[in-house]
Structure 1
Amino acid sequence: MELVPDSALLNRTVMVVWHGGTTPEVLQPLVKRLRERVGEKGRVMLENADRLESIPHEESSVEVVLTGFLPPPSLTHSPPLLGELARLLKPSGLLFLREPITTTTTASVEGVRSVKKLTSALKLSGFVDVSEVEASEYSGLLAGLQANGVTAGQDTISVAFVSAKKPSYEVGASSTLSFANRLPQPTNKVSSETANVWSLDPADDNLDMLDSDTLLEEEDLVKPDPDSLRSQCGPNSGRKRACKDCTCGLREELGNENPVTQTRTATSSCGSCYLGDAFRCASCPYLGMPAFKPGEQIRLSSRQLKADQ
């Protein structure tokens, strides 16, 4: 607590954050000393870290936050706790924090982070000007950590004292950039030079108008011969066929026509084809067709006249 300058506390609203391991015998002397340092116009508040997020404090209502100062300093500040402290602080408010840190980069201590990770957590929570003021040993630290379930050796743990600051603006605030006034302002007005470029005045003698007749050549004005537009495909052997260089689409039209059904007289080898499938042989061309009267002419396509392969 002595590392916090008096100028940071005088006439300020100060919040002291404590945790479950702190006893009332420790709280009372601390509050008394702080009230002497903040002066008559200052104010001292006490809040439990475990219940801070559930208490509806007004946003930007605190000027200074002291957390982790009450012995034993075994409080590890989680990201939600740091975010809540940033919300409660006024713009340019100060945060003074003490937290156990690991002093080695090789040993892994569960529940304790390095000062580098602590600094990163503060910056991610919105704080600026984060700096480590001091890292010192504390004789009662090991017992406090063990009470919170942290297992570590005394030689790998120390206490870091870190100061930080909330930015001078609120979350969601907007500000005009310094170079914004030097940018050209958009306008809907059209300059006179631009307007003259797009103006068309038929009465202006100096205005050169393009004659549309000059865009056509002499051959464009010649009408085409009607015979050249007709199809060169003509009658051939009683039906229309496409010529060699057909361009009228007749070749494609003829290619899509259905195949012509051929008719042939089928000769029965058993003489029972007209009775139906029950009396027909396996190679009968009428297989699958209904029965018909004897002597009735039946037309079969070329496909039906071919035996199955």
Structure 2
Amino acid sequence: MKSVLAITDDTVLATSVIVNALQELGNGDVANCDSQIITQAFSLNKLPLGASSMDVVISICRSAFPSDQMLEEISRVLKPGGVIFIHKTSQSVAVEKDESPALVRRLLIAGFLEAQETEKKIVSPSEVENLVIKAKKPSWAIGSSFSIKKPAKILPKIQIDDDSDLIDEDSLLTEEDLKKPQLPLVGDCEVGSTRKACKNCSCGRAEAEEKVEKLGLTSDLLENPQSACGNCGLGDAFRCSTCPYKGLPAFKLGEKVSLSGNFLAADI
């Protein structure tokens, strides 16, 4: 048995209006409906009904009824998935064109779904203007939460081709690269510290000996430098004009004098 609530801003509402409304709205057998009527509902702040107790609520009004507060009350007494019909009539003044969209917005803001204008007429067809708005209460409770199952992302399978073409490293080598390198002939210049440079010296010892000869130094003076005045090892600033070590860097007496690689290179 369906429970139906009819509310109106009029003082009196005929039961035949409710019967006609249920028949027009296609709510099945009217005899199996438990109907209740509340008149002058605009004076109420709260409907005297329990929460989620009505299947259908029919609002019949001539003024700006129902208010936003009354829409909250209607939503409270409606069962989840319940339907509300708002029927507004006007005998003397035509219904404004923008009144239907405004009422639809109010229903959506109040939490109803599928709010839209319908062509069904609830009251007598003698009325000049009729406006019927239908809406539905959500089947879920306001403030409820539920988890959304995200679809699992399946990663594409990567086909590994073991027979893929690989570059042969040997193919990158040329004939010149494959030839065995010819190592330079090892001379005897490095054999012994007192050996002189050979005729075909290529290690640089011949050039070093030429530098020493230009300075007038013997190998003994370089291997074991001595100084009669004691100033030869201090540098050119302390050496006399005939000093054999003139031009050489400072050194310690008794230690071998080593020449740098850029000894004869120009400073400028």
Please report the TM-score for the alignment, with normalisation by the length of structure 1: 0.39
Please report the TM-score for the alignment, with normalisation by the length of structure 2: 0.45
- Greater C-alpha Rg: 2
